[in-house]
Amino acid sequence: MTQSPAPSPVDGVEPAARASGLTKLYGAGEAAVRALDHVSVDFLRGEFTAVMGPSGSGKSTLMHCLAALDTVTEGDVVIGGTSLAGMSDKALTTLRRDQVGFVFQSFNLVPTLTARENILLPLAIAGREPDETWYDTVITAVGLADRLDHRPAELSGGQQQRVASARALVSRPSIVFADEPTGNLDSVASAEVLSFLRRSVDEFDQTVVMVTHDPLAAAYTDRVIFLADGRVVDELRHPTSDSVLARMAAIQSEAMSAPPAAPEG
């Protein structure tokens, strides 16, 4: 049995997704932008993780690479025990469909389909029948049972994001990525979406990774990873909004005083 790409049961908890030595360059030569710089990070099963960092620090890039939406320049991504390196487009599509859930900041839903059809879309595409009990659980948790026959245009932004989250979960993926899912929402709507994600981790043992700029949102998670200049610069467990805020301020000032230095390992 080879060691690195396979899940490591040594810790007792195997990671739902793992990035090892992930580097992403945009462009080439002098003008190349190093969006990710040797990022190695594990996302453990049943954990709710927040990714934070200044604008342009590489958060979205990391999400895209982890979710098999983008190719990496160097390093490897493992999802649910499968390495993405060298996979064909077709295989990547299938992997996305079956193993990954995704929630974008906006435009998450197909406008011509109802909420229900949107939620069931990944399963329908795969030609799979939904697991009835799981589907009912998700629908109940998302709290939109009476709006399921509405089209996206007839739903509020918060409701749309909850539908998108339900869609991300309905196929029981190995991991759900959410890039600023509450970025366009007010505090009440944000709270609804975040509570739903929290419940899906606590009650249904799902794995969720979420990019956010909001310390209040980060406080819903189990663990915060801080990115700066494409590198993981810090990590915080059991965050509160105050501790997150303090850590962000620290990173900000460090970045001001000594720009491209990696503080700790």
Partner 1 sequence: MLRVTWRNLFARKLRLLLSAFAIVLGVAFVAGSLVFTDTIDRAFDDIVSGSVSDVTVRFDGATTDENGGLIPDARSMPASLVDELAAQPGVARADGTVEGVGLFVIDSDGKLVGGQGAPTLAFNYNDAPSITGEPAVTVVEGEEPQGRDEVLLDERTAENAGYEVGDTVRMVTAGTVPELEAELVGIAEFGGGGLAGASLVLFDTPTAQQIFLGGSDVFDSIALTAEPGVSQDGLAASAEQVLPDGIEAATGDVVAAETEELVGTVLDFLNIFLLIFAAVALVVGTFLIINTFSILVAQRSRELALLRALGASRRQVTRSVLLEALVIGVVGSTLGLVLGFGLAIALRTLFGNFGLDLSGTPLVFQWTTGAIGYAVGIVVTLIAAYLPARRASRIAPVAAMRDDIALPESSLRRRMIVGVALTLLGAGMMAAGLVGEGNTGASMVGIGVLGVLLGVALMSPVLGRPVLQGLGAAYRAVFGTVGTLARENTLRNPRRTAATASALMIGLALVTTMSVLGASINKSIEVAVQEEFTTDYLVSSPTFQPFSTGIAERIRDIDGVGEVVQQQSLGSEIDGDGSFINAADGGAVAEVYDIPVVTGTLDVRRGGIAVSEQKADSLGVAVGDTVTLTFPAGDQEAEVQGVYEQSNILNDALVPLSTLAAAQIPRQDSVVSVNAAEGTSPDELGTALDDVVADLPIVTVQNQEDFTEAQRASVNTLLYLIYALLGLAIVIAVLGIVNTLALSVIERTREVGLLRAVGLSRRQLRRMVRLEAIAIAVLGAVLGIVMGLVFGVVLQQALADQGITDLAVPIWQLVLFVVVAAVVGVLAAVLPARRAAKLDVLRAITTE
Using CB under 6 A as the criterion, which residues of the chain lie in contact with ligand ATP when the complex forms? 26-27, 33, 35, 53, 55-61
**Phi, psi of 101, deg, nearest 5:** -110, 150
Q: Using the minimum distance from each CB to Mg ion, give the nearer residue, 171 or 182.
A: 182
Residue bearing tokens 């990496």: 72
Nearest by Cα to 229 from 28, 19, 38: 38
CB of 80 to ligand ATP, least distance (A): 23
Burial 226-235 (b: 16+ CB within 10 A, else e): bbbbbbbbbe
CA distance 168 to 152: 16
What is the gyration radius of the CA atoms in the chain, in angstroms? 18
What does 145 interact with, of ligand ATP, Mg ion, partner 1, none (CB < 5 to 8 A by kind)? none
What does 40 interact with, of ligand ATP, Mg ion, partner 1, none (CB < 5 to 8 A by kind)? none
Burial 153-167 (b: 16+ CB within 10 A, else e): eebeebbbbbbbbbb
What does 111 interact with, of partner 1, ligand ATP, Mg ion, none (CB < 5 to 8 A by kind)? partner 1
**Phi, psi of 222, deg, nearest 5:** -90, -25
What residues make contact with partner 1 under the rule CB under 8 A?
Answer: 64, 67, 69-70, 89-90, 93-94, 96-98, 102, 104, 107-113, 117, 121-122, 124-127, 153, 167
Q: Using the minimum distance from each CB to partner 1, give the nearer residue, 107 or 262.
A: 107
Q: Which two tokens stand for residue 180?
A: 């600023």
What does 160 interact with, of Mg ion, partner 1, ligand ATP, none (CB < 5 to 8 A by kind)? none
Q: Using the minimum distance from each CB to partner 1, give the nearer residue, 28 or 153.
A: 153
CB of 184 to partner 1, least distance (A): 10
CB of 97 to partner 1, least distance (A): 2
CA distance 20 to 254: 25
